[in-house]
Amino acid sequence: MRFAQYNAWANARLYDASTALSDFERKRDVKAYFRSLHGTLNHLLVADRIWLRRITGDGPAPKRLDETVFEQFPELREAREAEDRRIIDFVSGLDEPDFERVIEYGNTRGETHALPLQVILAHLFNHQTHHRGQATHILRQLGVAEPPALDLLYFALPTG
């Protein structure tokens, strides 16, 4: 549960920092893996939606990892917040044996795999952290002087 809550906290801080930029700057191609900050934020939402669909059978199922689901930042942020609540709700409903349950899924290349839910959730949260790091670097490139600290330790502090 801690990682689900941390994930929402870190995403909120990242989106808060992103409001310092214009729409043009957020969408500017900075040669990042998903081209721009907006592309990176869209990818994070897409990936979470894909994984939640795989493990719950519910919700949107984007077809491509680089799909732009929202062109406008306010709508993207609203969807991110809703997806973070969805993740928290899902994880909070799990019992210890649920984490061992094996999930069979097909990836975006059409390959079939099976992994325990605990491994999938670890990947989901680790994937978020990976791309938030990229997004923080993009913020810095675009002139946000001090992107927010997103370390788990800051979340865990009483003032986090």
Q: Where are the domains of the chain?
A: 1-154
What does the alpha-carbon distance between residue 105 and residue 55 come to, in Å, rounded to a whole number? 8
Q: Among 1.20.120.450, 2.40.340.10, 3.40.718.10, 1.10.3720.10, name the CATH number for the domain at 1-154.
A: 1.20.120.450
Residue 127 annotated in ligand binding: yes
C-alpha closest to that of 37 among 76, 92, 84, 86: 76
Mean pLDDT of the chain: 94
Please tell me the predicted confidence (pLDDT) of residue 160: 62
What residues contact residue 123 under an 8 Å CB cut-off, 6+ apart? 51
Average pLDDT (49-61) is 93
Q: How many CA atoms lie within 13 A of 117 on its CB side?
A: 15
Tokens 């870190």, residue located: 10
pLDDT at position 82: 97
Q: Is 137 annotated as a binding residue?
A: no
Mean pLDDT across 31-57: 95
pLDDT digits (tens, 9 = 90+) for 71-124: 999 999 999 999 999 999 999 999 999 999 999 999 888 899 999 999 999 999
Note whether 8 and 88 are within 8 A (CB). Answer: yes
Q: What is the pLDDT of residues 133-159, one digit of tens each?
A: 999 999 999 999 777 789 988 999 887
Q: Which residues pair with 115 in a beta bridge?
A: 103
- For the cut 90, the answer to whether the pLDDT of residue 10 exceeds it is yes
Q: Which of 152, 118, 109, 160 is nearest to 132 (CA)?
A: 152
Is residue 108 within 8 A of residue 64, CB to CB? The reply is yes
- Looking at residue 65, its pLDDT comes to 87
38 known member of a binding site: no
* pLDDT tens, position by position, 56-78: 999 988 888 888 999 999 999 99
99/119 Cα distance (integer angstroms): 8
Q: Is the confidence at residue 40, as pLDDT, over 90?
A: yes
Q: Find out whether 49 and 83 touch, Cβ atoms under 8 Å.
A: yes
* DSSP character at residue 107: -
Q: What's the pLDDT score for residue 80?
A: 98
Integer Cα distance of 140 and 18 in angstroms: 10
Chain centroid to CA 51: how far?
11
